[in-house]
Structure 1
């Protein structure tokens, strides 16, 4: 049964509105809409001496609209401000600071008083915020306000006066134009056509158009124009009236849905163009004309070849510029000096061939950092190719060197970085291909697959070992920056592979290298990182604690549509622990398996990871060791006579508790090590 969305456009003072946003345009043929959205402001109020904020948001859930990622940007304008935006389940934002010699430039929005952020795909909800630790109270006379807005890319051109005045807000009268895509319903074309009474494409000569994000809309068939949603709405186009769009240098005849072009008597058609018949012998004047024509053709061909060669050389210079800009020469030198390096620098052409020119059919994942394609490189080796969205200017020169460092990471539970492509504006990364989807899909994929506590513990332990390797064994240490269940891939044996280093940074050596761009995924973000904008190894520990909660509860990290106190899984968990109600939130698949003591130990570890202060959290090495201990205990059941020996040993070394006679024990690491060594 088809479910149609209700457009619910209301008329207020003779103007159309949808959910409080003024609708300025609806295009039937393009499936587009334009609406005015409020600008978020953060301004200093001289009368009260305080900052006043006005937050803007939009919610198009359960509606036919999506905010178009192709047509819009997120724009932040101001000084001394941290603005960020929650878009669906992710966060994006930037920090703007202004030095004494700060001088904004018209048309340049790249960090000096203004920044632009790409808008992600498939967005139905956003809400913007300003961090109160950044304000304009000290500079309000020259920079009275900061702004954040979603705006059509074609409608925005940065003006330097926007930073030190309210001209930006006044120019757009408090609202910015935003482009949206729309559909009829979420049904596919095949499903929609099955119900003839509700199928929306009712005009003759209309067709169903499937949207990449899902659902369908209608359009007139080729050769017709008009409204496909009403009877006889699609009318034939008379192509003969538009010789520019439908060229014909002969006799044009309109037909239903098309046209024909025939030649006048005495001429013939060649490659769609009418040519005049010529005799085998020509008079002298005609020969002169023919010779001149041939010469002209030769000249045109020569000019075209010269232009082609020039453009090809220009393209090569551009590629060489990008290659040097991203540290390609430095990377080459490093690769020469290090023997046995298997890292490869790919050309853009190689990756286009591997991914069928980055076909949509090859997409296997996408997020805030970029799109991932499945590819096949020389030797029939399957790879994952990641096209990143953006790269910080500060990281461009060191990018190649950092890639070489990341390529030397050799751990069975970390996705191997095989190479990169540097001759494009934003570098592309090539990883090994992992075939069995993600941990997020395993937990939340709406399937009937049973996931035992043993499998969950093993995946958690393998992931923790991988992160501990990055923090402790890599040189220099590496902070992942976006630990979440969708970045933990699973191979054919459900072994964990930590992936996606799009948000990773090498451990900073001084304060100037600390990250100032808020990045990560809503629900996993370390609150200390949100407050300080400084990514550390303990930020990864906090995010991993949320992954442990997913494994324990089977719930998603955040639910935007739940009541305020139930939106965050970590908040729900901490309340349940304080009230001794852990069993109420455990996954039904595992809480009745006689492993309650083990689950309590995991919950205690998760609570430790979620400490508000990073210094109070464990290291990833400690987390891995604790999970390893729990795995060993659950994997080796003890017979009853061994229980007495264990209890005696526990009396010597100390323990937390003996949980049950099923063979599951909660013990300290020194006891386990004693058992292994025979002590």
Structure 2
């Protein structure tokens, strides 16, 4: 998958800081007298202002200008039009650019412009509740790429399915995907394999954009002409959330430099991990918690737990988890991922836990959440992190896991390159991780697909035993193709290219991602590196090129490169190559991967068996095809045959 960064349309909102709710801020901090409060048709509430002295700081100084060709002035921040600001809701409405891919009949080429929007360093985040990723087209596959996260969908048309105006959901020519929580920038791009070159007379263009859900109504004219782009001047409305300040409630209360905003007797402070703290009315907060609990299947989960005696699973209150994590203090953060933030916590019983606040949950997951939690809670494997419980009275359910003390595999192999890690240790961690995934695929009932296998989701306990974690992207294996997911989501560098083409998440998607983890262990290089040259950004592509050119040694980690390890490294690399096959059918199963890693571990661990074929057979659990191992060459043949790594096996 290739796309050009040179064609990106880039704009970046500068840092916006220390927002204050007008109703709760003392008068001394309010807007000075004589300040304008309106620009054209848009109200400009404090802390925003149209002059430097009228805004709380320079970050909220907005411009009121009349663009060329316009009769009335528009409100703008930098070059972005602001159409509405709500202090009460902590939201602002902007107009941002869409991405499009069109066929040019005069040049016989497909051209595209990929919009990129950024809010990094500001308290602004795209609202996951109000926005959707929208893709339009009759032969379009498009994505939103954001901070190591990809999400998108395929939009198609069929001759026997008529196009109709109205909702995008279930409609031909349009598809949509949920936006993850906490996104501060995104880049739209298209899969070049799907384009309008053969259907341009009927549908000239494809589009992808992030926009306000309530503002979008599908029209068939969006496909049959360029009216969607032309009418909106290439822009779509998007809703941003903002906080009063980039602080938690507790931090804001003790901060002496800025006033605490939630001073009303009728308001409570509510934390937002991404945009800062806000105030809500107390009565509303209680009703909201009850609604979330029912929405996430809390009542059903209670009944299931009663009927299944002995289930070690707990439904936590938000207050319990607030206390356990010191109100989700930043000092308690264990890590940030594509699906949420993980905090360390300690329960009243002194039990250490890991608390994951997820970013988003789609409608299907909401319906099945309680049921899936009960299934996941019954997973019992030494190399899988135990799910202890969940909290359902929040907008997006919070998951509670056992605490694993030694961090992630990513930390081990990438944070300190001078730290020595033996080949035996790397192989053991790979084998244990593969065993865990094989258990999920083959032994769990029903089977479970992880969906986001990567080195940050492999934890290490006190003995550096591998523990596969983070089932935020997991789904129960579908029974038939009609149940396959309709959107693509995952992590850059690990994402199965076949999954991106077909939207069919399978056990072989996990195999591909595990193959990338194997490469990290072999090379000590990251799966995806945005800062490197374009052809070197993907570790899997770099590895496959090295294998093709017979230059594997060029990318292996120096710590494990020596004459004694050469054959082992080649065989591990060959296994990784098979995991990275473009077609899932050509990849081994996770059970096969685990078995072969186990056999290789035994050979490395017991070098004395090399001289005795009978002992080698016993270790490998299967007969050797070679009767003599008096030479290194003969041993190599015996070893490969016993491990099932010869070509064609």
TM over 0.5: same fold? Answer: yes
Q: Which runs of 5+ in 2 are unaligned?
A: 1-7, 17-51, 61-76, 81-95, 248-255, 267-280, 645-649
Q: Distance in 2 between matches of 1:79 and 1:386?
A: 37
Which residue number corresponds to residue 394 of structure 1?
A: 364
Query: Which of 441, 447, 459 matches 1:489?
Result: 459
Query: Which of 369, 390, 395 matches 1:425?
Result: 395
Query: Which of 65, 81, 94 matches 2:153?
Result: 94
Query: Which of 480, 487, 507 matches 1:510?
Result: 480
Which residue number corresponds to residue 44 of structure 2?
A: none
What is the CA-CA distance between 1:163 and the residue it aligns to? 6.6
Q: Judging changes above 3 Å, is the alpha-carbon distance between structure 1 residues 403 and 659 closer, same or farther for their aligned structure 2 residues?
A: farther
Which residue number corresponds to residue 70 of structure 1?
A: 125
Structure 1 residue matching 2:603: 3-state secondary structure = helix
Q: Distance in 2 between matches of 1:369 and 1:453?
A: 31
Q: Distance in 2 between matches of 1:101 and 1:652?
A: 62
Which residue number corresponds to residue 625 of structure 2?
A: 654
CA RMSD in angstroms, aligned pairs only: 4.5
What is the CA-CA distance between 1:445 and the residue it aligns to? 0.7
Q: Which runs of 5+ in 1 are unaligned?
A: 1-18, 182-209, 213-220, 225-244, 247-270, 272-299, 302-310, 674-679
Q: Could you give the per-residue CA deviations for residues 366-398 of structure 1, whole angstroms, max 9, x where no partner exists?
A: 222112122122311111111222212122221
Q: Distance in 2 between matches of 1:561 and 1:122?
A: 19
Pairing 1:552–2:610 present: no
Pairing 1:566–2:536 present: yes
What is the CA-CA distance between 1:543 and the residue it aligns to? 0.8
Which residue number corresponds to residue 467 of structure 1?
A: 437
What is the CA-CA distance between 1:419 and the residue it aligns to? 0.8
What is the CA-CA distance between 1:496 and the residue it aligns to? 0.5
Q: Judging changes above 3 Å, is the alpha-carbon distance between structure 1 residues 470 and 48 closer, same or farther for their aligned structure 2 residues?
A: farther
Kept after mapping to 2: 8 A contact 1:626/1:669: no
Kept after mapping to 2: 8 A contact 1:102/1:112: no
Which residue number corresponds to residue 56 of structure 1?
A: 114
Which residue number corresponds to residue 189 of structure 2?
A: 128
Query: Which of 234, 245, 249 matches 1:174?
Result: 234
Pairing 1:631–2:597 present: no
What is the CA-CA distance between 1:593 and the residue it aligns to? 6.4
Structure 2 residue matching 1:450: 3-state secondary structure = coil
Q: Distance in 2 between matches of 1:335 and 1:623?
A: 35
What is the CA-CA distance between 1:117 and the residue it aligns to? 1.8
What is the CA-CA distance between 1:38 and the residue it aligns to? 4.3
Pairing 1:607–2:577 present: yes
Q: Judging changes above 3 Å, is the alpha-carbon distance between structure 1 residues 597 and 30 closer, same or farther for their aligned structure 2 residues?
A: farther
Which residue number corresponds to residue 85 of structure 1?
A: 144
Q: Distance in 2 between matches of 1:547 and 1:616?
A: 18
Pairing 1:581–2:643 present: no
Pairing 1:149–2:209 present: yes
What is the CA-CA distance between 1:461 and the residue it aligns to? 0.3
Which residue number corresponds to residue 215 of structure 2?
A: 158
Structure 2 residue matching 1:653: 3-state secondary structure = coil
Q: Distance in 2 between matches of 1:374 and 1:341?
A: 24
Structure 2 residue matching 1:56: 3-state secondary structure = strand
Q: Judging changes above 3 Å, is the alpha-carbon distance between structure 1 residues 373 and 462 closer, same or farther for their aligned structure 2 residues?
A: same
Kept after mapping to 1: 8 A contact 2:452/2:510: yes
Q: Could you give the per-residue CA deviations for residues 68-100 of structure 1, whole angstroms, max 9, x where no partner exists?
A: 652576642535543202224331223457875
Kept after mapping to 2: 8 A contact 1:41/1:54: yes
Pairing 1:42–2:101 present: yes
Q: Which moved more, 1:603-612 or 1:81-90?
A: 81-90
Q: Distance in 2 between matches of 1:663 and 1:418?
A: 51
Q: Distance in 2 between matches of 1:507 and 1:531?
A: 19
Q: Distance in 2 between matches of 1:397 and 1:53?
A: 41
Structure 1 residue matching 2:493: 3-state secondary structure = coil
The 5 A counterparts of 1:103-114 are 103-104=165-166
Kept after mapping to 2: 8 A contact 1:414/1:498: yes
Kept after mapping to 1: 8 A contact 2:133/2:144: no
Kept after mapping to 1: 8 A contact 2:150/2:489: yes
Structure 2 residue matching 1:558: 3-state secondary structure = coil
Q: Judging changes above 3 Å, is the alpha-carbon distance between structure 1 residues 667 and 495 closer, same or farther for their aligned structure 2 residues?
A: farther
The normalised TM-score by structure 1 is 0.67
Query: Which of 347, 354, 366 matches 1:384?
Result: 354
Kept after mapping to 2: 8 A contact 1:389/1:426: yes
Q: Distance in 1 between matches of 2:134 and 2:336?
A: 24
Q: Distance in 2 between matches of 1:591 and 1:531?
A: 36
Q: Distance in 1 between matches of 2:397 and 2:200?
A: 38
Structure 1 residue matching 2:433: 3-state secondary structure = helix
Q: Distance in 2 between matches of 1:373 and 1:163?
A: 47
Q: Distance in 2 between matches of 1:656 and 1:566?
A: 45
Q: Distance in 2 between matches of 1:590 and 1:26?
A: 45
Q: Could you give the per-residue CA deviations for residues 147-186 of structure 1, whole angstroms, max 9, x where no partner exists?
A: 32357x7xx96142667445553454235699999xxxxx
Q: Distance in 1 between matches of 2:167 and 2:284?
A: 28
Q: Judging changes above 3 Å, is the alpha-carbon distance between structure 1 residues 49 and 407 closer, same or farther for their aligned structure 2 residues?
A: farther
Structure 1 residue matching 2:390: 3-state secondary structure = strand
Kept after mapping to 1: 8 A contact 2:314/2:390: yes
Which residue number corresponds to residue 268 of structure 1?
A: none
Kept after mapping to 2: 8 A contact 1:35/1:178: no
Structure 2 residue matching 1:607: 3-state secondary structure = helix
Q: Judging changes above 3 Å, is the alpha-carbon distance between structure 1 residues 352 and 639 closer, same or farther for their aligned structure 2 residues?
A: closer
Q: How many residues align?
A: 526
Kept after mapping to 2: 8 A contact 1:634/1:663: no
Q: Judging changes above 3 Å, is the alpha-carbon distance between structure 1 residues 422 and 20 closer, same or farther for their aligned structure 2 residues?
A: closer
What is the CA-CA distance between 1:104 and the residue it aligns to? 2.9
What is the CA-CA distance between 1:611 and the residue it aligns to? 1.4
Q: Distance in 2 between matches of 1:438 and 1:648?
A: 35
Q: Could you give the per-residue CA deviations for residues 267-326 of structure 1, whole angstroms, max 9, x where no partner exists?
A: xxxx9xxxxxxxxxxxxxxxxxxxxxxxxxxxx99xxxxxxxxx8776555434333322
What is the CA-CA distance between 1:573 and the residue it aligns to? 1.5
